[in-house]
Structures are given as structure tokens and as C-alpha cells.
Amino acid sequence: MLVKYCRNAHPLHARVYPAHSRIWKRLVAIRERAEEHLHWQLGRGACNFWVESWLPSSPINSASSSHDCVKDFWADGAWNLDQVVGLSQDQRAEIFQLRIISDIDDIPLWKLSNNGDFSFKNAFDEIRVSTELSPIYSAIWASTIPKKMSFLVWRILKNWLPLDTLLHKKGNQFASKCQCCWSIESHNHVFLTNPIAIQVWDHYVGMFGIWQQIFTQLHLVFKAWSLTVSEKGYIRRLIPVLILLSLWVARNKAKHSEQRYCFHGIVKRINHCLSIIVHSGMLYYKHWKGGPRGGCLV
Ligand SMILES: [Zn+2]
């Protein structure tokens, strides 16, 4: 790979072209980050004087395109830096502390390991993009929620349900009407802002002492319910999931089975779901910490 892609340039500066291999492109994508964790223990001084990290502090000039090797500035057992420009006083002082040992190769040391050996594991840990787990997704995929429910809530959050506004976008022409009033049936109206949904959210917000404004975005609702909650599966993360599910079920029953869409029916369903989860052994006492006073809703 060195011969193929780095004929006239240091690997840190070699260019990438569309025809190059995927492996080479991936290596190039992470080379600066990997180089930060590499240090050369000086032996015969074959590493690049300017670009590579052989001084304790840092590379001398990582942007340099010079091919000078460290050994080029060593002669007769001493450093010859008289003609070298671009070195700070500190760098010169550091260099004079080091020695070339001509019968030993330079040794690359991986700074992230205890013994200097390269390790794929800690290299991967360093390079991978770590993202903070979203409170929404950690709530819906919690162990206390049956996977069937998690999947449905995931679809709700993704707005992948056949609501009127979505069907309109797909070209279907019909008059939209929600199940509680004469509003258009939109995602936000069904799950957050219709009068019954507001009543249901308010009911549980009051019960759990959650500070919740009238939100128009579900991720803000989950954020409010997840604040101060660190444990996955906590009751405070479960309740908004059950509210969404029950609002959706109530909407479907009203639309397709002409059942009444009402506050008491929805709350009854939420409590029933909670009861099933408790009796199935998926919810333990520890999950109620921070829940409503008295411990149980059902
Ligand atoms: Zn409505």
C-alpha cells in the first residue's frame, strides 16, 4: 500500500482519488486521529524528522512535505541542527536530550495501550463515533416494555402511521377529521395537542410531578419525562410510552369500531397495560423509584 499510494508523499499527506481502494480510503479517513496516538521511540532514526511524532511533545511540523529523516541531522554521535530552520528553542532542547542508536529500528508505540503495543480494540474505541443515547429510544426499547409495544411506539415517533395528513402527502384525496373534534388528523394533534390527549398528559404529569409545558414535539415530552431518570426502564420512561400507545389504540377504535374516544377510556387502557407489565414480572420495585406517591397506579 505504501508503494502503491505513497510513492512521493508521506502516508499522512498522500492524496486519495476515486479509483483508490476502499481500504486505503478508510485508512486515510482516520489517519490524523490515529497519528495522534502514535509515538516513535528513536532507534536508527529512519522516521520523518518533521512529520512524525518522535519528540516527547509533538511533531515538529506535521504539515511539512519534506522527506528528511531524523538520522539526516545526526553525525558522528551528535546532533547537527545548525542549518535547520523552523525549530523552537524548546524543540531543540528536546532533541538534544535524545540519541540515535544505529543498530536498532525505530519502534512505534501506541499511546493508548499500557505496553505500547497496538491494539485493535482500543483503536476502535477511540475512533468510533460515540453518541449519547437518545432518551426517547432508550425509553421505548427498555426491558420493561414488550417488544411489540416498543415497535409500535417507534413507528409513532417516526410518523410512520397511516394518519390523514400522511395519506394526503401520498396523494390520497379525502376530507380529514380527527376523532375528538373537527380538526385535521395530524401526528401532533393525535398524540399531543388534541383536547383529550392534553387531558391525558396532564393527568400523568400531575401524578408524577413532571414539569411539562404544552409541547408540540414528542422528543421534548420524552426529555421532560426523562430528566433525572438514569435507569433504563424506569417508570417515568414507561408512562409516556403507554400514553402514546393508548392514544393510538383509542384513535383506531373510534375510527374503525365507532367506540367512544374519551379521557377515561384512555386512562383505563394505560393503567391496564401497566398492570399487565407488572404482573408479567417485567417491572420491579426499583423501577418505581421516583414514581407516584403510594407506589402503584393500578
Ligand atoms: Zn381533535
pLDDT tens sequence across 40-84: 888 899 999 988 888 877 788 877 888 889 999 999 889 998 888
**pLDDT of 293 higher than 60:** no
Three cell numbers, residue 199? 387531558
Give the least confident one: 106-115, 184-193, 253-262: 106-115
pLDDT tens for each residue of 276-288: 888 877 676 666 6
Q: Tell if the pTM clears 0.75, that is, is over it.
A: no
Residue 212 alpha carbon to ligand 1 centre in Å: 21
Instruction: Give the pLDDT mean for 231-248.
Output: 82
Pairing of strands 107-110, 38-41: antiparallel
Residue 114 alpha carbon to ligand 1 centre in Å: 62
Residue 179 alpha carbon to ligand 1 centre in Å: 6
Three cell numbers, residue 88? 523552537
Cα separations in angstroms, 117 against 39, 120, 213 = 11, 10, 54
Residue 241 alpha carbon to ligand 1 centre in Å: 20
Residue 154: other Cβ atoms inside 10 A: 15
Residue 257 alpha carbon to ligand 1 centre in Å: 17
* 87 HSE (CA, 13 A, CB side): 19
Residue 254 alpha carbon to ligand 1 centre in Å: 12
> Looking at residue 286, what DSSP letter applies?
G
pLDDT tens for each residue of 10-50: 888 888 888 888 888 888 888 888 888 888 888 899 999 98
Residue 163 alpha carbon to ligand 1 centre in Å: 13
Residue 118 alpha carbon to ligand 1 centre in Å: 61
Residue 123 alpha carbon to ligand 1 centre in Å: 53
pLDDT top residue among 282 and 111 = 111
Who contacts 164 (Cβ-Cβ below 8 Å, separation ≥6)? 174, 176, 177, 178, 184, 185, 186
Three cell numbers, residue 4? 502503491
Whole-number average pLDDT of the chain: 82
> Looking at residue 62, what DSSP letter applies?
T
Q: pLDDT band at 227, cuts 50/70/90?
A: low
Positive or negative, the CA dihedral 165, 166, 171, 173 is negative
Q: pLDDT band at 266, cuts 50/70/90?
A: very high
Is 237 within 8 Å of 139 (Cβ atoms)? yes
pLDDT tens for each residue of 168-218: 887 888 888 888 888 999 999 999 999 999 999 999 988 887 765 666 788
Q: What pLDDT was estimated at residue 214? A: 63
Residue 155 alpha carbon to ligand 1 centre in Å: 21
Residue 270, helix vs strand vs coil:
helix
Residue 139 alpha carbon to ligand 1 centre in Å: 27
Residue 229 alpha carbon to ligand 1 centre in Å: 32
Residue 220 alpha carbon to ligand 1 centre in Å: 21
Residue 195 alpha carbon to ligand 1 centre in Å: 7
Instruction: Give the pLDDT mean for 158-174.
Output: 84
Q: Give dist(CA 270, CA 277) in Å, integer.
A: 11
Three cell numbers, residue 189? 394533534
Residue 15 alpha carbon to ligand 1 centre in Å: 59
**pLDDT of 148 higher than 70:** yes
Q: Give dist(CA 59, CA 22) in Å, integer.
A: 28
